[in-house]
Amino acid sequence: MGDNFNESLWGMESAKKDGIQALSPKEFVFRYLKYLPWVLVCVAIAGAVAYFKIRYSVPLYHVQASMLIQEDEYSGASSKDPKFQELVLGQEPSNLGNEIQILKSSPVIDRVVRALHLETGCYNMGTIIKSRLIYPDAPFKIEIQHLADSNTGISLFVNVLNEQQFTLAKDGPKYFFGQPLEIGGNRISIVRTGDLNLRQYSTPQFRVTWTPSRQVAGGLMGGLQIALLNDGTTILSLTFTGDNPRLGVDVLNCLMRVYDSLKIEDKNRISTNTLQFIDAQLGSLQTQLSGVEGKSKGFMVENNAYDVTGQTSVYMNNIQELSKREAEQQVKLAVLDMLIGYVADPKNEGKLVPTSLGVEEPALLQFVTQYNQLELSKEANLRTTKPDNQIIKDMNTALAKIHSDMLQALRNVRQSYVIAINSLQKQQGANQAQLKGVPGKSMELLNIQRQQKILEDLYSFLLMKKLETSISSAATVSNSKVVEPAAASYDPISPNKKSIYTLYLIIGLLIPVGIIALLELLRDKVSDRNDIEKRTKAPILGEIGHSEGDRTLVVAQNSRRFVAEQFRIVRSNLQYIIGKKERPVIMVTSSFSGEGKSFISTNIGAVIALTGRKTVIMEYDIRKPKIVAGLDLKRKMGITNYIIGKANFEDLVLPVQGTENLYVIPCGPIPPNPAELLLDPRLDELMAEVRSHFEVVIMDTAPVGLVSDANNLAKYADCTLYIVRQHHTFRNQIQLIEELYSGKKLPNISIILNDVKPENGYYSGYGYYGGYGYYGGYRSKSGYFEDERTGKGKGSIFARIKRLWQT
């Protein structure tokens, strides 16, 4: 059986070589079960915080609408001239980015506020914190007769007493609805707007406000979002988020109506400017045409030139053709002169250039188009920004540049027309030279009639354009169309109960789990056998629990204490380490002081002595001996006396009273050179004497992590018990054990985990050597063991809290 168990032990040990041994699910649960109350408390607190957040958060509703921004078609009932429509009426492709900014601009939102009378507001005060906006059926409102400062709002607390009276404080004077009030230099009155049924409100306390429209507009802009629905359309999506869904619906619907009216106003203003320009030019032409007609009539009467048809048919046809072409050029030249006069006139600065009036010059049309577009964009931006804004200044600079380029282009085109007219006149002169026989009176009359024809054609052209502009102005419609009127969500979008509860419960879990994880990361001491197994391949011989009493010797003949039974288990496991050696020498060491090395040595010796084997404990921790003091023995000569030749072997041995077959050899006086003393040849003689007189020898040595004593004594030992204390030994010191074990610097190293405290009634077993495995709350309550708590109150709640804190 022993051989099979030993094979199983070393098989499991070799399995650990492949990697770190993980905690089993049961070990994991019991290890962290003690934190469960704190986790539950944190989760409960997080749930309570989530509940109060939802309870006292103002619900927000989502309102959505959509509108189509369509491209302006070249409307006008009788116009077929797209260039005239573009230049005169300003009908150009819509820039959706500009339209979005116009919709969101403060002047436009300010119009919405004034149209819906949102400057005044009425709120019903909640029972604890919440106040609710009453819209649109507020029971009363503030009416302003005089404002001391129009930029400062007014807010009043109104405590309604009945349908006729109210107070402005709970114990203040009574006022009647509609009664004039003087407050802070303002003359106001609070007037009823409908029935005042207090039963439909949570409290009779209200707050009425008057706020300047631009401040209200700023508040509305925070909840307004406008975006392009998708890239393939010109449909804008308008959304509004607020605590009153009816208000959101009215705001979006009114915003779309205001936008329509603004667009119509812009188009009508352009048409008005064009009609004013045409009327001014028609008046001037009418005067010139009257003068030319009078001159023609007077010339014909005075010179009797009623019939001038004697010219040669060929030359006359040529002259007529040239005259016709010259007349067309003169019309264009006259139009250009009008435009040059209009553009150059400082009084027309900032006005739209009406039209090219039939002048087909691409460069000129481009400048006029750019100028009108930039002027309209400037006006649109002036609705949202101040004239001293850098954007407006940049636009003014660009307008001045385009104005100068346009004026220069007009003059260049005029020069080209003048050159063309001069050329035609030269050709006419050549033909006229062939008609020397034609009377001069006929030629002069022809010139007068030609001037009359030019003026008549120009007058007719302007009359036609005036009619077209008037028809277009009468038929002006907005370029927007409501696709979906505003509609509000039935349920509030905020607070989202599910999301808030989920978030806070996650936070409630993460906080304690994070703290536990941080504590685990910061914990640098051994907490359980798993910490040892992860860091070394050395076998664990067993675990010794925490001893409640102050006695060093806990193992006795008839002791049934839990710790005593653990030492018996270690004794059984030790048989597989020392094998069949008749007189084994067991060395006990540790990493540093305070790990219970002397406690383990004493009780290992006692538990072996109980088997009838004569056992001695040698106090080799010369620097800091504790064995003799722990057993309440009187100190006498010891090891150091023997080595220096001051004592015989018989003078060293001390029997332990009450424990048969257990003896102690003290260390003796502490020498100044303990390390060198342990290298003395007389130590070999001492060990020979000990082996001859005792069946089991236990050497309690100094910590191997501090001094070299254990290394010097290792040659006498058959096995080494390395003591690791729970919550005392540092984890990185396990690396020293691994180095000693893998380098075989100490014989047959085995580890004993000392001072193990049960967590949640759980012990993690006693090694691989036939241990009991998992103890789910054994000890005294199981009936197998005696109660270790001998003192009154040691099992109280305070002692438990202390033990929990120590873990």
Q: Please say which residue of 484, 514, 540 terminates a domain.
A: 484
One domain, residues 509 and 434? no
One domain, residues 570 and 457? no
Q: What per-residue confidence (pLDDT) applies to 616?
A: 95
Backbone Cα Rg of the chain: 55
One domain, residues 502 and 640? no
pLDDT higher for 804 or 506? Answer: 506
Alpha-carbon gap, residue 445 to 200, rounded angstroms = 93
Say if 352 falls within a structural domain. Answer: yes
pLDDT higher for 489 or 116? Answer: 116
- Structure-block tokens of residue 445: 């009359």
Tell me: the pLDDT tens digits for 285-307? 788 878 877 777 776 666 555 55
- For residue 354, cis peptide bond before it (omega within 30 degrees of 0): no
Say if 83 falls within a structural domain. Answer: no
Spatial CA neighbour of 624 closest among 740, 521, 703: 703
One domain, residues 305 and 434? yes
Tell me: the pLDDT tens digits for 640-655? 999 988 899 988 999 9
**To the nearest whole number, what is the mean pLDDT of the chain?**
79
The pLDDT-based confidence of 663 (bands split at 50, 70, 90) is very high
Contact 462, 280 (CB under 8 A): no
**CB < 8 Å & 24+ apart, contacts of 636-642:** 636/666, 637/666, 637/668, 638/665, 638/666, 638/667, 638/668, 638/669, 639/665, 639/666, 639/667, 639/668, 639/686, 640/667, 640/668, 640/669, 640/670, 640/671, 640/677, 641/668, 641/669, 642/668, 642/682, 642/686
Q: What per-residue confidence (pLDDT) applies to 785?
A: 54
**CB < 8 Å & 24+ apart, contacts of 739-744:** 740/704, 741/536, 741/537, 741/538, 742/537
- Structure-block tokens of residue 117: 């009378």
One domain, residues 327 and 342? yes
One domain, residues 394 and 510? no
Q: What per-residue confidence (pLDDT) applies to 788?
A: 54
Say if 543 falls within a structural domain. Answer: yes
Contact 504, 49 (CB under 8 A): yes
Alpha-carbon gap, residue 359 to 337, rounded angstroms = 12
Q: What per-residue confidence (pLDDT) applies to 128?
A: 65
pLDDT higher for 389 or 356? Answer: 389
Burial class (CB in 10 A: 0-12, 13-18, 19+), 104: middle
Burial class (CB in 10 A: 0-12, 13-18, 19+), 585: buried
Tell me: the pLDDT tens digits for 44-97? 999 999 988 888 787 888 999 999 987 654 433 344 455 444 444 444 445 788
Contact 488, 248 (CB under 8 A): yes
Using the predicted structure, report yes or no on whether residue 204 has a pLDDT greater than 50: yes
Q: What per-residue confidence (pLDDT) applies to 780?
A: 43
Contact 755, 728 (CB under 8 A): yes
One domain, residues 594 and 464? no
Say if 154 falls within a structural domain. Answer: no
One domain, residues 547 and 499? no
- Structure-block tokens of residue 501: 């509860």
Q: What per-residue confidence (pLDDT) applies to 263?
A: 79
Alpha-carbon gap, residue 545 to 543, rounded angstroms = 6
The pLDDT-based confidence of 585 (bands split at 50, 70, 90) is very high
Alpha-carbon gap, residue 207 to 632, rounded angstroms = 85
Using the predicted structure, report yes or no on whether residue 618 has a pLDDT greater than 90: yes
pLDDT higher for 424 or 665? Answer: 665
In the chain, the number of structural domains is: 3
Q: What per-residue confidence (pLDDT) applies to 303?
A: 56
Alpha-carbon gap, residue 244 to 486, rounded angstroms = 13
- Structure-block tokens of residue 457: 């054609």
Prediction pTM value:
0.50
The DSSP element (H or E) to which 736 belongs, if any, is helix 734-742
One domain, residues 569 and 473? no
Identify the DSSP state of 780.
G
Give the range among 153-167, 396-410, 434-448, 706-720 with minimum mean pLDDT. Answer: 434-448
- Structure-block tokens of residue 467: 């009619």
Give the range among 187-196, 464-473, 483-492, 791-800 with minimum mean pLDDT. Answer: 791-800
Domain hosting 419: range is 280-484
Q: Which amino acid, one-letter code, is at 65?
A: A
Say if 682 falls within a structural domain. Answer: yes
Q: What per-residue confidence (pLDDT) applies to 553?
A: 87
One domain, residues 691 and 680? yes
- Structure-block tokens of residue 546: 């925490």
pLDDT higher for 47 or 763? Answer: 47
pLDDT higher for 90 or 578? Answer: 578
Say if 92 falls within a structural domain. Answer: no
Q: What per-residue confidence (pLDDT) applies to 443?
A: 67
Domain with 706 in it: what CATH number? Answer: 3.40.50.300
Q: Please say which residue of 484, 512, 534 terminates a domain.
A: 484
Say if 156 falls within a structural domain. Answer: no
One domain, residues 474 and 576? no
User: Looking at residues 332-339, what average pLDDT do you find?
Assistant: 80
Side-chain half-sphere of 466: how many Cα atoms within 13 Å? 15
By residue count, the chain amounts to 807
Say if 625 falls within a structural domain. Answer: yes
User: What percentage of the chain exceeds 70 in pLDDT?
Assistant: 81
Coil, helix or strand at residue 207: strand
One domain, residues 601 and 516? no
